[in-house]
């Protein structure tokens, strides 16, 4: 028996929100596994992609930075069109871009609710739809990996909108998996626990919250972006050809407790 490959050689991957944190680590890992990468950032943060594109180039892969403003439909159309124009194809989409606006449920504003749901769920869906259309046209299948969260399956304080958006991503992943299976497009999600990134730094700086988080993680530590990349590369690779509709939790045991 041959062990199935986790290599991504010859593939073109789009990784959204790759200028920092988990997205940057995923793009670097995808390139290390052999993929050429289109990495995205908000238009006013596009300079943050210089470092990750340089790292990808050092690995002998192509790395192209493009702007993306979710959930703007024109921005998504432009990203997909430029990807095809410059890379010729797209095989992998990692929907990583996302935000959290922590707020007590009794105080939550409509503006904050809409912002979180629009970026984390609506944007993720419509970008997936656009990329899937290209994959269907190419006729060779594809892999979509959604960065959900453990907060897609359990709740946490001050996260009414965030947990709702990530639970939506978990179930949307199942719907897209069954609808697009006939096109050999696998759709899966990864659900990380708390990972130390710019998104979560202020949360970790609060000693009370920090202690609460660590108490809930049987493996006894919070995550690093590098902890997430193995699951993503696996789900994007031929080793996961028969895996679809699944959310792989990278949670240190939080949801097992």
Give the residues lining the site for ligand NAD (CB under 6 A).
16-17, 19-23, 41-42, 45, 68-70, 96-99, 119, 147, 149, 192, 194-195, 197-200
Show the tokens assigned to 9: 């050689």
The strands making up 92-95's β-sheet, listed across from edge to edge, are 63-67, 36-41, 12-15, 92-95, 142-147, 185-192, 247-250
Q: Cα–Cα distance between 145 and 181 in angstroms, integer?
A: 14
Q: Which of 125, 162, 234, 254 is catalytic?
A: 162
How many alpha carbons fall within 13 Å on the CB side of residue 76?
A: 21
Residue 45 beta carbon to ligand NAD: minimum distance, rounded to whole angstroms: 5
Closest by Cα among 145, 167, 172 to 235:
145
Is the CB of 70 or the CB of 161 nearer to ligand NAD? 70
Is the CB of 12 or the CB of 94 nearer to ligand NAD? 94
Residue 26 beta carbon to ligand NAD: minimum distance, rounded to whole angstroms: 9
Residue 35 beta carbon to ligand NAD: minimum distance, rounded to whole angstroms: 19
Residue 143 beta carbon to ligand NAD: minimum distance, rounded to whole angstroms: 18
For residue 44, give the DSSP letter: G
Show the tokens assigned to 232: 């993503």
Is the CB of 69 or the CB of 244 nearer to ligand NAD? 69
Is the CB of 168 or the CB of 192 nearer to ligand NAD? 192
Residue 122 beta carbon to ligand NAD: minimum distance, rounded to whole angstroms: 10
**Which positions ≥6 away from 2 have C-beta within 8 Å?**
none
**Residues 169/177, Cβ–Cβ less than 8 Å:** no
Is the CB of 12 or the CB of 97 nearer to ligand NAD? 97
Give me the phi and psi of 109, to 5 degrees please: -95, 155
Cis peptide before 71 (omega within 30 of 0): yes
156 as an active site residue: the answer is: no
Closest by Cα among 5, 6, 25 to 15:
25
- Active-site amino acid positions: 162
């Amino acid at each position: 028996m041959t062990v199935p490959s986790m290599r991504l050689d010859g593939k073109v991957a789009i990784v959204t929100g790759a200028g920092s944190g988990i997205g940057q680590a995923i793009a670097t890992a995808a390139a290390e596994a052999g993929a050429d990468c289109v990495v995205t950032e908000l238009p006013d943060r596009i300079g943050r992609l210089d470092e990750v594109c340089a790292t990808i180039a050092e690995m002998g892969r192509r790395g192209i930075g493009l702007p993306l403003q979710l959930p703007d439909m024109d921005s998504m159309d432009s990203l997909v069109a430029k990807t095809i124009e410059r890379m010729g194809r797209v095989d992998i989409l990692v929907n990583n871009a996302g935000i959290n606006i922590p707020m007590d449920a009794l105080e939550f504003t409509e503006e904050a609710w809409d912002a979180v749901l629009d970026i984390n769920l609506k944007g993720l869906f419509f970008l997936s739809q656009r990329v899937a259309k290209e994959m269907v046209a190419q006729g060779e299948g594809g892999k979509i990996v959604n960065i959900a969260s453990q907060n897609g399956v359990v709740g946490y304080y001050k996260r009414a909108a965030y947990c709702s958006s990530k639970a939506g991503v978990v179930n949307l992943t199942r719907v897209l998996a069954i609808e697009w299976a006939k096109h050999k497009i696998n759709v899966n999600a990864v659900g990380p626990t708390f990972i130390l990134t710019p998104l979560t730094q202020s949360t970790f700086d609060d000693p009370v919250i920090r202690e609460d988080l660590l108490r809930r993680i049987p493996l006894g530590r919070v995550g690093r972006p590098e902890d997430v990349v193995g699951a993503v590369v696996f789900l994007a690779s031929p080793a996961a050809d028969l895996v679809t509709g699944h959310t792989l939790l990278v949670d240190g045991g939080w949801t097992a407790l």
